């Protein structure tokens, strides 16, 4: 798909027949995830009906990062993760 158009797509619903195996959807899901911007995450859900299954792929904006300070000094995210390892 074109990169400009791909960034504007917020979600896709794919209707499948009842004989579709779940592992057959891996390629579609992986391609959608690869085309998704790093600022977004992909939410995957399935809905089942008697005659068909629907695969729902939605792009949801990740939460904004909040700044963490210690005595007024900004903490580096990498240092914070290393410093929180407590036994």
Q: Which domains does the chain have, with CATH numbers?
A: 3-82 (3.30.70)
Distance CA 70, CA 48 (A): 50
Please check whether residue 50 is in contact with residue 56, taking contact to mean a CB–CB distance below 8 angstroms: no
Phi, psi of 41 (to 5 degrees): -120, 155
Predicted confidence at residue 52, as pLDDT, reads 86
**Who contacts 54 (Cβ-Cβ below 8 Å, separation ≥6)?**
13, 14, 15, 16, 46, 47
Per-residue pLDDT in tens (0 to 9) along the chain, 87 residues: 567 777 788 999 999 988 888 899 999 999 999 988 888 899 999 998 888 889 999 999 887 765 666 676 766 665 555 555 544
């Amino acid at each position: 798909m074109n990169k400009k158009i791909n960034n504007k797509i917020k979600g896709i619903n794919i209707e499948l027949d009842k004989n579709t195996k779940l592992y057959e959807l891996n390629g579609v899901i992986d391609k959608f995830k690869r085309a998704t911007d790093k600022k977004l995450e992909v939410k995957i859900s399935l809905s089942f009906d008697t005659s068909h299954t629907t695969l729902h792929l939605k792009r949801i904006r990740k939460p904004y990062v909040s700044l963490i300070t210690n005595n007024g000094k900004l903490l580096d995210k990498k240092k914070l993760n290393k410093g929180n390892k407590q036994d």
